[in-house]
Amino acid sequence: MPTILVVEDDDILRRDLSRILSREGYGVLTAASLSEAEAALPGAPDLFLLDVWLPDGEGFSLLPLIREASPAPVLFLTACDDEASVIRGLDLGADDYITKPFRKAELLSRIRANLRRTRAAVLDGPLTAGDLVLDPLTHTVTNAGRAIALRPAEFRLLRLFMENPGLLFSRDRLIERLNADPAEDPLEDNTVSVYISRLRGAIGSRYIETVRGFGYRFRADAGKEDPS
């Protein structure tokens, strides 16, 4: 699952952000200062959520250190909303700038958008998990070299899972993500279980895990052998 480093000195807001992101299926690291954030850099977060005003300096000063170590998206989340600060953050290399108070839905949407852009930049080749290979360019799937025939909705579902290994998707979130493109045939609530079942039958049951009461997630580490 993607991991987000939250750099925020307000204890209550830091806990709230951690809870919001955890509920969405993200791994969360937290820091209350620049020094704590620097110590967390070796953990290789997939996205950074930074405040500007911190007890030991400005979040702006962390950007060059992040860029030396990682291409991960950097989003400022701050009450520092004057135009000069916004321009400074973006000019230094931030990917987005969100001002407080913020709307939860908008924050989550921007996080997803930035993570998608990052993945799109590095996913030029096929997606792989064990013996399973999905090639977005040729629209093919193989398992241990054997071609797997999938319906269009099943292919889209597998691609979404493989692009987000470990991320927990509720049924509503799967429908939302797969129906985002109006050109594609819509996925309906009563067909989710059917497509999941067909997909498991095609690629092996170990890759897609059901988390009762919450949804599904893809296990990229499921291994090559399938017990089914």
Nearest to 59 by CA among 43, 36, 82: 36
Per-residue pLDDT for 228 more than 80? no
Can you tell me the distance from the alpha carbon of 75 to that of 92, in angstroms, rounded to the nearest whole number? 12
Give the model's pLDDT for residue 82.
84
Residue range 39-56: mean pLDDT, rounded: 89
Per-residue pLDDT for 200 more than 90? yes
The pLDDT-based confidence of 41 (bands split at 50, 70, 90) is confident
pLDDT in tens, 148-188: 998 888 888 998 898 888 888 888 888 888 776 555 666 67
Per-residue pLDDT for 21 more than 80? yes
The pLDDT-based confidence of 42 (bands split at 50, 70, 90) is confident
Give the model's pLDDT for residue 123.
52
Can you tell me the distance from the alpha carbon of 226 to that of 98, in angstroms, rounded to the nearest whole number? 45
Can you tell me the distance from the alpha carbon of 173 to that of 129, in angstroms, rounded to the nearest whole number? 22
pLDDT in tens, 83-137: 888 888 888 888 888 988 888 998 999 898 888 777 665 555 688 888 899 887 6
Give the model's pLDDT for residue 226.
46
Q: What contacts 21, CB < 8 A, 6 or more positions away? A: 4, 6, 28, 111
- What is the average pLDDT value for the chain, to the nearest integer? 85
Q: What contacts 14, CB < 8 A, 6 or more positions away? A: 6, 8, 30, 32
Which domains, ranges and CATH numbers included, belong to the chain? 3-122 (3.40.50.2300), 127-218 (1.10.10.10)
Global pTM value: 0.55
Q: Token match 């493989």: residue?
A: 162
Can you tell me the distance from the alpha carbon of 130 to that of 29, in angstroms, rounded to the nearest whole number? 28
pLDDT in tens, 75-84: 999 888 788 8
Residue range 199-224: mean pLDDT, rounded: 86
